[in-house]
């Protein structure tokens, strides 16, 4: 069973979509709090998002960008806006598909199933999902998740890149310059910005009970030390 998140401000339409999705064996969760869509996304962790353009406070384009900062989860826009520029804008902001209202519910279901097959099922890459693993700690870059045993934490895009860089070279030191290049493509970034991202990664590791793994080597860079080995790799 897959989870589908519905972000639609027409309650009747949202309920009809939910009913059709459930009829085909998947779960559908309606989001009613349009000021905290990203927080609900992180709680639900859906496999597909159905997203309207016209929403209170912030429009669907905004929330699409916010979701894309955390996840590569398929996003399908559903909107009464049928103009070419609206559809192009949706795709440029990270959408995978666009359905105009009014629509046939069977078309929506077919497009959801198409995305599920493409990303998670029959049409997913044969080579399998890319992972970075160190002594039982597994990073899933495509889904931006970190797993240790039965524990899983969601990551932002920059947290994922930073952890992939550090884990991929562990136990070797990774220079500050290398990290800056990976995260910001040589753009000027002050020390505080890098430190904030390092702190966030430390917090993600701490959520899994991993303390003091990310070492700062003053004047040189950072290193991941495998401190979780004895506790979790038995």
CA distance 105 to 37: 24
- 6-13, long-range: CB within 8 Å, 24+ apart, which pairs? 6/30, 6/31, 6/50, 7/31, 7/34, 7/37, 7/49, 7/50, 7/51, 7/52, 7/55, 7/60, 7/63, 8/50, 8/52, 8/78, 9/34, 9/52, 9/54, 9/55, 9/56, 10/52
**Statement: residue 120 has pLDDT above 80:** no
pLDDT band at 125 (very low <50, low <70, confident <90, very high): low
pLDDT in tens, 61-113: 999 999 988 788 899 999 998 889 999 999 999 999 999 999 999 999 999 99
Question: What does the pLDDT read at residue 233?
Answer: 43
Question: What does the pLDDT read at residue 111?
Answer: 94
Question: What does the pLDDT read at residue 232?
Answer: 45
Tokens of 46: 């859906």
Question: What does the pLDDT read at residue 234?
Answer: 41
CA distance 147 to 187: 31
Chain-centre distance of CA 60, in angstroms? 16
pTM over 0.85: no
Mean pLDDT, the chain, whole residue set: 87
pLDDT in tens, 138-167: 898 888 889 888 888 888 888 888 999 999
H-run or E-run covering 215: strand 214-217
> Is 109 in contact with 20 (CB distance < 8 Å)?
yes
């Amino acid at each position: 069973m897959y989870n589908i998140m519905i972000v639609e401000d027409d309650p009747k339409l949202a309920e009809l979509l939910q009913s059709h999705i459930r009829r085909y064996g998947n779960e559908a969760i309606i989001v009613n709090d349009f000021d905290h869509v990203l927080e609900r996304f992180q709680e639900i962790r859906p496999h597909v998002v159905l997203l309207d353009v016209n929403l209170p406070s912030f429009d669907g384009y905004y929330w699409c960008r916010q979701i894309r900062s955390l996840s590569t989860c398929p996003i399908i826009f559903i909107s009464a806006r049928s103009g070419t520029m609206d559809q192009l804008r949706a795709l440029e902001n990270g959408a995978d598909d666009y359905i105009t209202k009014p629509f046939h519910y069977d078309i929506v279901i077919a497009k959801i199933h198409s995305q599920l097959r493409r990303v998670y099922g029959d049409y997913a890459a044969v080579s399998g999902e890319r992972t970075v693993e160190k002594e039982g700690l597994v990073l899933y870059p495509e889904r931006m998740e970190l797993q240790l045993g039965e524990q899983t934490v969601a990551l932002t895009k920059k947290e994922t890149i930073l952890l992939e860089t550090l884990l991929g070279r562990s136990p070797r030191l990774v220079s500050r310059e290398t990290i800056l290049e990976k995260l910001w493509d040589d753009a000027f970034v002050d020390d505080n910005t890098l430190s904030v991202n390092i702190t966030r990664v430390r917090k993600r590791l701490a959520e899994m009970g991993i303390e003091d793994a990310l070492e700062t080597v003053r004047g040189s860079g950072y290193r991941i030390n495998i401190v979780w080995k004895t506790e979790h790799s038995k």
